[in-house]
Amino acid sequence: MISLENDKNIFTVAFYNVENLFDTIDNPNTYDDDYTSDGKLKWNKKRYNNKIKKLSSVISQIGNKKSNYAPAIVGLVEVENEKVVADIANSTYLKKHDYKYVHYNSPDERGIDVALLYNKQLFELIDSEHFPLYLEDENGEQDYTRDILVVSGYLKGEMVHILVNHWPSRREGIEESELKRIAAAQLARTIINGIQAKNYDAKIIIMGDFNDDPNSKSIKEYLVKEDFYNPMEKILNRDNKGSLTYDGKWNLFDQIIFSKNFLEKEKGKLYFTSAEIFNKDWLKIFKGKLKGSPFRTYIGPWYQGGFSDHFPVYAFLKKED
């Protein structure tokens, strides 16, 4: 419930890895067989609808302690296709906010993509584009992964450019896969350089599941240079908490990063105020060895009926008239 006492000048920017949001229909071109009613995960319409309801409930509540609005923009990753993004936008909890979305199919082998939801009251879409990340596997063959999505538009009347990322995983090992994430960082910087070449003072937001922490080499050395500020680094250092757990340890792979001109407090302009992890107790596993971790949809092949294996992250922007 959004309070009428909340600030009408504060706007929420969010990012959420929604953990394998597949529909129930088999796509013959991707490895989505597990997420069908006949697959090993027994993924069916009831489970799918339950997940849509849970995710949309989460999104509707992000930032509502401070902002008078549902989130202005929400980056999403691990969505299978346009249909699942549309189902979130049109869900019971979000329909009244008139969310629209941007989505492109990417060549990822599992068929998962990135997308952006936007609150039409607050954000006017101007342009969007997607950039493929070209990688090779150990055999020299193309390793298909997610694109970087770039969305440009007016957030409360001010032009902003948003990059939504889902970088290659650590499945092969942290060091073994590091070069792939560095390549993703270099692609993001190439995109940023192109935006800045047209407008040196462009306001840019980079968000995503980077599969690396704020202090990892790919982020610190290749992405966040002198023109950007990463508030998630302070959160990791201050709280020693994260947006997901792996082997009992916290990581903060989910991050929202701002060009430094968002730090300039200027009347009539959007500026950054704070960033947080949306880690409410009801989003957590409440008992057992995983207590406190995100309450996920599956643990291995076992259905849990939770939300996601990641917590969302979010930040507040303010604009004073």
216-237: pLDDT as tens digits: 999 999 999 999 999 999 998 7
* pLDDT above 70: percentage of residues in the chain: 98
Rounded to whole angstroms, the Cα distance separating 237 from 60 reads 28
Q: Where are the domains of the chain?
A: 10-318
Q: Which residues of the chain have pLDDT under 50?
A: 2-4
pLDDT digits (tens, 9 = 90+) for 280-302: 999 999 999 899 999 999 999 99
What local confidence, expressed as pLDDT, does residue 163 receive? 99
What local confidence, expressed as pLDDT, does residue 5 receive? 52
What local confidence, expressed as pLDDT, does residue 2 receive? 47
10-318: CATH architecture: 4-Layer Sandwich (3.60)
pLDDT digits (tens, 9 = 90+) for 14-58: 999 999 999 999 999 899 999 999 999 999 999 999 999 999 999
Report the predicted TM-score, pTM, of the whole model to 2 decimal places: 0.96
What local confidence, expressed as pLDDT, does residue 179 receive? 95
What local confidence, expressed as pLDDT, does residue 60 receive? 97
